[in-house]
Chains A and B, each alone.
Chain A
Amino acid sequence: MTEVVLSLRGVTKRFGGLVAVNGMDFDVAEHQVMGLIGPNGSGKSTTLNLISGAFPVSAGRISLRGTPITHLPAQDIARRGISRTFQLVRLLPSMTVQDNVMAGAVFGHRRRWGHEAEGIAQTMLEKVGLGGRGHLRVGQLTYIDTKRVELARALAGEPRVLLLDEWLAGLNPTELETGINLIRALRDEGRTIILVEHVMDAIRSLCDTCVVMAAGSKIAEGTPDQVLSDPAVIRAYLGDDDA
């Protein structure tokens, strides 16, 4: 029996009258990649935002290794070991690639400093395929490379859980293959990941389990094959032109 790292119970978020996330329950076990999927606007990003403390939950509980983190501010959640990327890439525009990644190493879960932080940043840059390009300004990067920097920054915090919000979106077919291989390498290292994704190939080949959302609620849970053949899931996707 593997240990549960992250668990959500009845997590709900209301924006005025809109219930963006409605009573979400799920557990993420250690070394597991969990896919969080669903049509556009179903509440996937909002769920990640609630876990990472971007805004307060309206109801429910979130815990990390049994410790409640529900009402902690974002910086404390990051320090406890939850790192994330953003659906729309967010880099630090005035800094070099190296310093962008250092931000994660210096202030993340392990809070390194000096040569130690530089070492971590270096390692993570190599891991995402940007070795030797730390001196570049982020404005000089291609789109996939900006995504790599953001991933390296999240990894540099040495997190217990990694939240990836459509990290593969917007990549061309060749880049997509590179990207999937990169995330597979992370999975093979035994990382715990929540993967919000629309790319079905990626979901099938990367995820151990999947949670499917529609209109804020969980409508299915299981292995990728199970959920993708579930009639309720097919209906949810067919009602959406993104399927």
Chain B
Amino acid sequence: MSLTATDWRNLSLSALALLAAACLPWVVGNYHLTIGVTIAMYAVLATSWALFSGPTHYISLATAAFFGVGAYVTGIGLQHLPYWVLLPLAGLIGAVMAALVGLATLRLSGVYFVIFTLGLAEFVRQIITWGQNVSGTKGLYVLTSITERDIYWQLLGLAALVWALGWLIGRSRLGFALRIIGDDETVAKHSGINTARAKILLFMVPGAVAAITGAVLAPRYVYIEPALAFTPMLSFQVVIMALLGGTGRLWGPLVGVIPFTFLWEAISISFPNQTTLLLGVAFLLIVYFLPRGFVGLIEDARRRMGSEGAR
């Protein structure tokens, strides 16, 4: 596997951008650092979501399920294990969960998959609520000395990992298989691709990543309860941001996450009671007017400029 000049340029640019982002806590105040954490969190979630859902067109609404489980791994695990063990443990549990969901659903059509993944978060939430009722506890305190800065840096590290992984997958057999499956699953099968295995393998990536993200963010909440950790809003927001940016490129979701986070801040302050409605409207607008997201707009503009230059 050899790297071209363009690869090196993109790699160095990405490294520089990450480095610059890592300096944020020294430059801005607490409020903006909070927004920075939100952006980093959604960048991680949306990018890993798009790794699977982009090529396969399977819309997963399971993000909250994995995220919530990750948060609970930290919440429950802190009393027994060192914090640094909890993150990979959450990833492992998320990956196994994703594999099981994949085994149960990915042979079915896309519609089943959407509904099943949405139900999954609710299902896990109910189990944990039931467990709490049986044991007589309510929420869970997550008390650590981890600061907002630490969380931010951890998320940046995770983002770097997700991008590196996405880049590798994009150049791999698995990535090529997924693109073929997304185009025509019948052709994929008859070309010799084990479509079920490819889909399950790749679905484990957002599963693991969302669980790790939940584990990283748990200390931020201090007190976690099922309704908070498994909120379906999280799953929908991840889908909307990824689609807004565009799933055709690795950097696409990030381009959606940044403006959407600011817009969402403004909306939540001005219309705190209409957020769900506005989220729905945003979804419709994006799907209708920007089917390929900002990535599509940018690439169309580039192509137009390119063809003018050629003339």
Interface check A84, CB cutoff 8 A:
yes
Kindly supply a per-residue 1/0 record for chain A positions 63-99, scoring 1 wherever the CB is within 8 Å of any chain B CB and 0 otherwise: 0000000000111001100011010001111110001
Q: How many residues of B contact A (CB 8 A)?
A: 19
Residue of B nearest to A107 (CB): B192
Interface check A35, CB cutoff 8 A:
no
Judge whether A79 and B173 touch: CB under 8 Å: no
Most chain A CB atoms below 10 A, which of B1, B188, B189:
B189
Segment touching B, from A108-116, A177-185, A207-215: A108-116
Most chain A CB atoms below 10 A, which of B176, B186, B191:
B191
The dominant DSSP class at the A interface is loop
| A147 to B: closest C-beta gap in Å | 14
Residues in chain A near residue B186, CB distance under 8 A: 54, 86, 90
Interface check B177, CB cutoff 8 A:
yes
Size range of the chain A interface in the assembly:
20 to 34
Judge whether B192 and A94 touch: CB under 8 Å: no
The verdict on A113 contacting B173 (CB below 8 Å), with A95-B179, A95-B183 known, is yes
Residues in chain B near residue A90, CB distance under 8 A: 184, 186-187
Judge whether B190 and A92 touch: CB under 8 Å: no
Residues in chain B near residue A94, CB distance under 8 A: 179, 182-183
Judge whether A73 and B189 touch: CB under 8 Å: yes
Most chain A CB atoms below 10 A, which of B177, B179, B184, B192:
B192
| A30 to B: closest C-beta gap in Å | 21
Judge whether B176 and A92 touch: CB under 8 Å: no
Partner of B192, one of A92, A99, A108: A108
Residue of A nearest to B171 (CB): A114
Most chain B CB atoms below 10 A, which of A53, A102, A107, A111:
A107
Partner of B190, one of A52, A95, A113, A114: A52
Interface check B35, CB cutoff 8 A:
no
Residues in chain B near residue A114, CB distance under 8 A: 1
Partner of B191, one of A73, A93, A103, A113: A103
Residue of A nearest to B177 (CB): A107
Interface check A153, CB cutoff 8 A:
yes
Judge whether A78 and B191 touch: CB under 8 Å: yes
Q: How far is the CA of A89 from the CA of B182 in the complex (A)?
A: 17
Residues in chain B near residue A104, CB distance under 8 A: 191
Residues in chain A near residue B191, CB distance under 8 A: 75, 78, 103-104, 107-108, 153, 157
Judge whether B192 and A75 touch: CB under 8 Å: yes
* Cross-chain pairs A/B with CB under 8 angstroms, 14 sampled: A52-B190, A53-B189, A73-B189, A74-B190, A84-B190, A91-B184, A92-B179, A94-B183, A95-B180, A103-B180, A104-B191, A107-B177, A107-B193, A114-B1
